[in-house]
Amino acid sequence: MVLYRVAISSPELSSASERDDDESNESASSFEQHRMRMRNATRLTLKETHSFWSSLILKGITCGEFKCLFREIDSSTGYLISSNYGGVQFEEECYYSWLIAKYVDEKFGAKHLFLEAPRRVNIPDHFFLQFANETIRKGREADGKPLYQADTDAVIQKVRLAPQPMKILTHGDGWTTFKWMYRKKAQDRASFMKNFQSGINGTMKVLENLPLLAVDWQVMLDAHGYTYQFDLDRAFCSCPFEKWKNCRQEWLHGGGILSRYNSSEMDLSCDAIDAMLKLKGRLGKPMKIERNSTQRKMMAELIQSIAFGGDEGTAPKCIL
Protein backbone atom coordinates (compact mmCIF):
# COMPACT_ATOMS: atom_id res chain seq x y z
CA MET A 1 0.00 0.00 0.00
CA VAL A 2 1.38 3.41 -0.98
CA LEU A 3 0.88 6.38 1.32
CA TYR A 4 0.25 9.91 0.06
CA ARG A 5 -0.06 13.22 1.80
CA VAL A 6 -2.33 16.14 0.95
CA ALA A 7 -0.17 19.24 1.19
CA ILE A 8 -1.79 21.87 3.38
CA SER A 9 -0.83 24.69 1.02
CA SER A 10 -1.71 22.94 -2.22
CA PRO A 11 -4.71 21.02 -3.56
CA GLU A 12 -2.40 18.54 -5.22
CA LEU A 13 -1.46 15.15 -3.81
CA SER A 14 2.25 14.64 -3.19
CA SER A 15 3.59 11.11 -2.72
CA ALA A 16 5.38 9.88 0.37
CA SER A 17 6.89 7.22 -1.92
CA GLU A 18 6.73 6.31 -5.60
CA ARG A 19 3.43 5.05 -6.97
CA ASP A 20 3.41 2.08 -9.33
CA ASP A 21 2.22 2.94 -12.84
CA ASP A 22 -0.46 0.25 -12.75
CA GLU A 23 -1.70 1.41 -9.37
CA SER A 24 -1.76 5.01 -10.54
CA ASN A 25 -3.75 4.14 -13.67
CA GLU A 26 -6.20 2.06 -11.69
CA SER A 27 -6.77 4.85 -9.16
CA ALA A 28 -7.09 7.55 -11.83
CA SER A 29 -9.52 5.37 -13.74
CA SER A 30 -11.63 4.85 -10.63
CA PHE A 31 -11.75 8.57 -9.89
CA GLU A 32 -12.44 9.64 -13.48
CA GLN A 33 -15.19 7.06 -13.86
CA HIS A 34 -16.74 8.43 -10.70
CA ARG A 35 -16.58 11.99 -12.03
CA MET A 36 -18.11 10.95 -15.35
CA ARG A 37 -21.00 9.20 -13.62
CA MET A 38 -21.61 12.28 -11.52
CA ARG A 39 -21.45 14.81 -14.33
CA ASN A 40 -23.18 12.87 -17.10
CA ALA A 41 -26.63 12.44 -15.61
CA THR A 42 -28.97 10.98 -18.20
CA ARG A 43 -30.47 13.73 -20.34
CA LEU A 44 -34.01 13.28 -21.59
CA THR A 45 -34.50 13.21 -25.35
CA LEU A 46 -36.72 15.75 -27.12
CA LYS A 47 -39.62 13.29 -27.16
CA GLU A 48 -39.09 12.35 -23.52
CA THR A 49 -38.86 16.03 -22.60
CA HIS A 50 -42.31 16.81 -24.01
CA SER A 51 -43.80 13.74 -22.34
CA PHE A 52 -42.13 14.64 -19.03
CA TRP A 53 -43.50 18.18 -18.81
CA SER A 54 -46.93 17.06 -20.03
CA SER A 55 -47.11 14.59 -17.14
CA LEU A 56 -46.69 17.25 -14.45
CA ILE A 57 -49.17 19.49 -12.64
CA LEU A 58 -47.89 22.99 -13.36
CA LYS A 59 -49.98 24.77 -10.71
CA GLY A 60 -49.77 24.65 -6.92
CA ILE A 61 -46.02 23.95 -7.05
CA THR A 62 -44.19 23.74 -3.71
CA CYS A 63 -40.86 25.60 -3.70
CA GLY A 64 -37.96 26.01 -1.33
CA GLU A 65 -34.91 28.21 -1.71
CA PHE A 66 -33.32 26.32 -4.60
CA LYS A 67 -35.74 23.56 -5.63
CA CYS A 68 -39.42 22.99 -6.36
CA LEU A 69 -41.57 19.88 -6.08
CA PHE A 70 -43.63 19.22 -9.22
CA ARG A 71 -46.33 16.57 -8.77
CA GLU A 72 -47.23 14.08 -11.46
CA ILE A 73 -50.83 13.96 -12.69
CA ASP A 74 -52.90 11.22 -10.97
CA SER A 75 -49.86 9.79 -9.23
CA SER A 76 -48.22 9.51 -5.81
CA THR A 77 -44.89 10.54 -7.28
CA GLY A 78 -43.30 13.77 -8.39
CA TYR A 79 -40.00 15.44 -9.22
CA LEU A 80 -37.70 17.70 -7.28
CA ILE A 81 -36.40 20.11 -9.91
CA SER A 82 -33.31 22.11 -9.04
CA SER A 83 -32.92 25.73 -10.02
CA ASN A 84 -31.07 26.28 -13.27
CA TYR A 85 -30.74 30.01 -12.75
CA GLY A 86 -27.42 31.62 -13.71
CA GLY A 87 -24.44 30.31 -11.74
CA VAL A 88 -26.34 27.72 -9.72
CA GLN A 89 -25.30 24.09 -10.25
CA PHE A 90 -26.83 20.98 -8.74
CA GLU A 91 -25.50 17.95 -10.60
CA GLU A 92 -22.87 17.10 -7.99
CA GLU A 93 -25.13 17.66 -5.00
CA CYS A 94 -28.06 15.70 -6.46
CA TYR A 95 -25.81 12.83 -7.47
CA TYR A 96 -24.25 12.62 -4.02
CA SER A 97 -27.65 12.96 -2.33
CA TRP A 98 -28.84 9.94 -4.30
CA LEU A 99 -25.77 7.99 -3.19
CA ILE A 100 -26.33 9.02 0.45
CA ALA A 101 -29.98 7.95 0.28
CA LYS A 102 -29.06 4.52 -1.04
CA TYR A 103 -26.23 4.19 1.49
CA VAL A 104 -28.30 5.02 4.59
CA ASP A 105 -31.12 2.77 3.39
CA GLU A 106 -28.88 -0.23 2.76
CA LYS A 107 -26.59 0.33 5.75
CA PHE A 108 -28.96 1.54 8.46
CA GLY A 109 -32.48 0.89 7.17
CA ALA A 110 -33.20 4.65 7.11
CA LYS A 111 -36.19 5.46 4.91
CA HIS A 112 -36.09 8.12 2.19
CA LEU A 113 -38.32 9.22 -0.69
CA PHE A 114 -35.91 9.11 -3.67
CA LEU A 115 -36.95 6.72 -6.45
CA GLU A 116 -34.17 6.96 -9.01
CA ALA A 117 -30.88 8.63 -9.88
CA PRO A 118 -30.99 12.29 -10.96
CA ARG A 119 -31.40 13.17 -14.62
CA ARG A 120 -31.35 16.34 -16.72
CA VAL A 121 -34.15 17.87 -18.77
CA ASN A 122 -34.50 20.97 -20.89
CA ILE A 123 -37.21 23.47 -19.93
CA PRO A 124 -39.03 24.39 -23.17
CA ASP A 125 -40.27 27.97 -23.30
CA HIS A 126 -43.97 27.10 -23.73
CA PHE A 127 -43.95 24.94 -20.59
CA PHE A 128 -41.87 27.48 -18.65
CA LEU A 129 -44.45 30.19 -19.26
CA GLN A 130 -47.11 28.00 -17.60
CA PHE A 131 -45.32 27.74 -14.24
CA ALA A 132 -42.83 30.64 -14.09
CA ASN A 133 -44.95 32.72 -11.72
CA GLU A 134 -45.34 29.73 -9.37
CA THR A 135 -41.61 29.49 -8.78
CA ILE A 136 -40.43 32.91 -7.61
CA ARG A 137 -37.09 32.76 -5.78
CA LYS A 138 -37.21 32.87 -1.97
CA GLY A 139 -34.82 33.18 0.96
CA ARG A 140 -31.33 34.63 0.58
CA GLU A 141 -31.55 34.59 -3.22
CA ALA A 142 -34.96 36.30 -3.38
CA ASP A 143 -35.04 38.81 -6.21
CA GLY A 144 -38.56 38.51 -7.64
CA LYS A 145 -37.42 36.22 -10.45
CA PRO A 146 -38.40 32.58 -11.10
CA LEU A 147 -36.12 29.78 -9.91
CA TYR A 148 -35.81 28.67 -13.52
CA GLN A 149 -34.98 29.99 -16.95
CA ALA A 150 -36.32 28.65 -20.21
CA ASP A 151 -34.41 26.68 -22.86
CA THR A 152 -31.83 25.56 -20.28
CA ASP A 153 -31.28 22.15 -18.66
CA ALA A 154 -32.30 21.52 -15.05
CA VAL A 155 -31.50 18.58 -12.77
CA ILE A 156 -34.54 16.47 -11.84
CA GLN A 157 -34.94 13.84 -9.12
CA LYS A 158 -37.94 11.51 -9.07
CA VAL A 159 -39.42 11.09 -5.59
CA ARG A 160 -42.31 9.46 -3.84
CA LEU A 161 -44.64 12.08 -2.41
CA ALA A 162 -44.48 12.26 1.37
CA PRO A 163 -47.40 10.45 3.04
CA GLN A 164 -50.00 12.74 4.56
CA PRO A 165 -50.35 13.96 7.22
CA MET A 166 -46.64 14.64 7.56
CA LYS A 167 -44.58 16.94 9.74
CA ILE A 168 -40.91 17.87 9.71
CA LEU A 169 -38.90 17.30 12.87
CA THR A 170 -36.09 19.81 13.26
CA HIS A 171 -33.56 20.67 15.94
CA GLY A 172 -35.30 22.81 18.55
CA ASP A 173 -39.01 22.24 17.89
CA GLY A 174 -39.04 18.48 17.28
CA TRP A 175 -40.72 17.62 20.58
CA THR A 176 -43.74 19.89 19.92
CA THR A 177 -44.15 18.46 16.42
CA PHE A 178 -43.85 14.88 17.68
CA LYS A 179 -46.52 15.40 20.37
CA TRP A 180 -48.96 16.86 17.84
CA MET A 181 -48.53 13.92 15.46
CA TYR A 182 -48.69 11.33 18.25
CA ARG A 183 -51.72 12.80 20.05
CA LYS A 184 -53.74 14.10 17.12
CA LYS A 185 -53.00 11.81 14.15
CA ALA A 186 -51.72 8.42 15.32
CA GLN A 187 -54.42 5.74 15.00
CA ASP A 188 -52.40 3.02 16.74
CA ARG A 189 -50.12 4.65 19.30
CA ALA A 190 -48.25 1.45 20.20
CA SER A 191 -47.40 0.81 16.56
CA PHE A 192 -46.54 4.49 16.11
CA MET A 193 -44.02 4.38 18.98
CA LYS A 194 -42.46 1.14 17.75
CA ASN A 195 -41.96 2.57 14.26
CA PHE A 196 -40.72 5.88 15.62
CA GLN A 197 -38.16 4.26 17.93
CA SER A 198 -36.85 2.14 15.07
CA GLY A 199 -36.61 5.18 12.79
CA ILE A 200 -34.84 7.33 15.36
CA ASN A 201 -32.37 4.53 16.14
CA GLY A 202 -31.58 4.39 12.42
CA THR A 203 -31.29 8.17 12.27
CA MET A 204 -28.82 8.21 15.16
CA LYS A 205 -26.67 5.65 13.34
CA VAL A 206 -26.80 7.83 10.24
CA LEU A 207 -25.61 10.87 12.21
CA GLU A 208 -22.87 8.91 13.97
CA ASN A 209 -21.50 7.69 10.66
CA LEU A 210 -22.22 10.79 8.52
CA PRO A 211 -21.99 13.65 11.05
CA LEU A 212 -22.23 16.38 8.41
CA LEU A 213 -25.94 15.55 8.21
CA ALA A 214 -26.33 16.89 11.76
CA VAL A 215 -26.07 20.40 10.34
CA ASP A 216 -29.56 21.79 9.71
CA TRP A 217 -30.85 18.40 10.92
CA GLN A 218 -34.39 17.46 9.89
CA VAL A 219 -36.46 14.38 9.15
CA MET A 220 -40.05 13.85 8.08
CA LEU A 221 -42.51 12.12 10.42
CA ASP A 222 -45.79 10.54 9.27
CA ALA A 223 -48.89 9.44 11.20
CA HIS A 224 -47.61 5.86 11.45
CA GLY A 225 -44.44 6.92 13.24
CA TYR A 226 -42.16 6.36 10.26
CA THR A 227 -39.31 8.83 9.72
CA TYR A 228 -37.83 9.77 6.34
CA GLN A 229 -34.43 11.25 5.54
CA PHE A 230 -34.58 14.16 3.10
CA ASP A 231 -32.74 17.32 2.03
CA LEU A 232 -29.55 15.26 2.06
CA ASP A 233 -27.62 17.71 -0.10
CA ARG A 234 -27.24 19.88 3.01
CA ALA A 235 -24.10 17.85 3.76
CA PHE A 236 -22.47 19.42 0.69
CA CYS A 237 -23.59 23.02 0.86
CA SER A 238 -24.60 24.53 4.21
CA CYS A 239 -21.44 24.16 6.30
CA PRO A 240 -18.62 23.68 3.81
CA PHE A 241 -19.29 26.65 1.61
CA GLU A 242 -21.22 29.18 3.65
CA LYS A 243 -21.22 29.22 7.43
CA TRP A 244 -18.92 26.69 9.05
CA LYS A 245 -18.12 28.99 11.98
CA ASN A 246 -21.81 29.43 12.68
CA CYS A 247 -22.35 25.68 12.46
CA ARG A 248 -19.98 24.87 15.30
CA GLN A 249 -22.88 25.09 17.76
CA GLU A 250 -24.31 21.97 16.09
CA TRP A 251 -21.44 19.95 17.57
CA LEU A 252 -21.59 21.02 21.24
CA HIS A 253 -22.75 17.58 22.37
CA GLY A 254 -20.94 15.55 19.73
CA GLY A 255 -17.52 15.24 21.33
CA GLY A 256 -17.44 11.45 21.29
CA ILE A 257 -18.47 11.23 17.66
CA LEU A 258 -16.09 13.96 16.55
CA SER A 259 -13.02 12.79 18.47
CA ARG A 260 -11.78 10.63 15.61
CA TYR A 261 -11.71 13.66 13.30
CA ASN A 262 -9.73 15.85 15.67
CA SER A 263 -6.32 14.24 15.19
CA SER A 264 -3.89 16.09 12.95
CA GLU A 265 -4.08 13.51 10.15
CA MET A 266 -6.43 10.83 8.82
CA ASP A 267 -5.83 8.04 6.30
CA LEU A 268 -8.47 8.26 3.58
CA SER A 269 -8.94 7.11 0.00
CA CYS A 270 -7.03 9.28 -2.47
CA ASP A 271 -10.04 9.11 -4.81
CA ALA A 272 -12.37 10.41 -2.09
CA ILE A 273 -10.02 13.28 -1.25
CA ASP A 274 -9.71 14.17 -4.96
CA ALA A 275 -13.51 14.26 -5.24
CA MET A 276 -13.85 16.35 -2.08
CA LEU A 277 -11.24 18.89 -3.20
CA LYS A 278 -13.12 19.49 -6.45
CA LEU A 279 -16.45 20.32 -4.81
CA LYS A 280 -17.49 23.96 -5.14
CA GLY A 281 -21.03 24.03 -3.80
CA ARG A 282 -24.25 25.00 -5.49
CA LEU A 283 -23.12 28.59 -6.11
CA GLY A 284 -19.71 27.58 -7.41
CA LYS A 285 -17.89 29.01 -4.40
CA PRO A 286 -14.77 27.43 -2.89
CA MET A 287 -14.91 26.14 0.67
CA LYS A 288 -14.31 28.87 3.22
CA ILE A 289 -12.35 26.72 5.65
CA GLU A 290 -8.79 25.50 6.03
CA ARG A 291 -7.78 22.32 4.22
CA ASN A 292 -6.88 20.14 7.19
CA SER A 293 -10.11 20.75 9.11
CA THR A 294 -12.50 18.51 10.99
CA GLN A 295 -15.23 19.22 8.50
CA ARG A 296 -13.12 18.40 5.42
CA LYS A 297 -12.19 15.09 6.99
CA MET A 298 -15.89 14.40 7.54
CA MET A 299 -16.69 15.18 3.92
CA ALA A 300 -13.86 13.11 2.48
CA GLU A 301 -14.89 10.17 4.65
CA LEU A 302 -18.54 10.61 3.62
CA ILE A 303 -17.61 10.54 -0.08
CA GLN A 304 -15.37 7.53 0.56
CA SER A 305 -18.31 5.67 2.10
CA ILE A 306 -21.02 6.50 -0.41
CA ALA A 307 -19.09 6.74 -3.70
CA PHE A 308 -16.07 4.49 -3.35
CA GLY A 309 -17.42 1.61 -1.29
CA GLY A 310 -15.87 2.62 2.02
CA ASP A 311 -12.35 1.73 3.10
CA GLU A 312 -11.69 -1.80 1.89
CA GLY A 313 -7.95 -1.55 2.42
CA THR A 314 -7.14 -1.90 -1.29
CA ALA A 315 -7.31 1.64 -2.71
CA PRO A 316 -4.28 3.97 -2.54
CA LYS A 317 -4.36 5.96 0.71
CA CYS A 318 -3.74 9.62 1.34
CA ILE A 319 -3.26 11.57 4.53
CA LEU A 320 -5.57 14.55 5.01
Once rounded to an integer, what is the mean pLDDT over residues 3-22?
35
**For residue 114, pLDDT beyond 50:** yes
Q: Tell me the pLDDT band of 6, cut-offs 50, 70 and 90.
A: very low
Q: Both 23 and 114 in a single domain? A: no
Q: How many domains does the chain have?
A: 3
Q: Both 111 and 183 in a single domain? A: no
Q: Both 256 and 217 in a single domain? A: no
**For residue 313, pLDDT beyond 70:** no
Q: Both 22 and 107 in a single domain? A: no
Once rounded to an integer, what is the mean pLDDT over residues 231-243?
68
Once rounded to an integer, what is the mean pLDDT over residues 137-160?
85
**142, 160, 178 - which closes a domain:** 160
Q: Tell me the pLDDT band of 41, cut-offs 50, 70 and 90.
A: low
**232, 252, 268 - which closes a domain:** 232
Say which CATH number the domain at 126 has: 3.30.200
**112, 136, 160 - which closes a domain:** 160
Instruction: State which residues form the domain around 151.
Output: 42-160
Q: Both 61 and 108 in a single domain? A: yes
Q: Both 46 and 156 in a single domain? A: yes
Q: Say what the pLDDT of residue 38 is.
A: 60
Is residue 64 left, alpha or beta, with left meaning phi > 0 and alpha meaning psi from -120 to 50? beta
**For residue 252, pLDDT beyond 80:** no
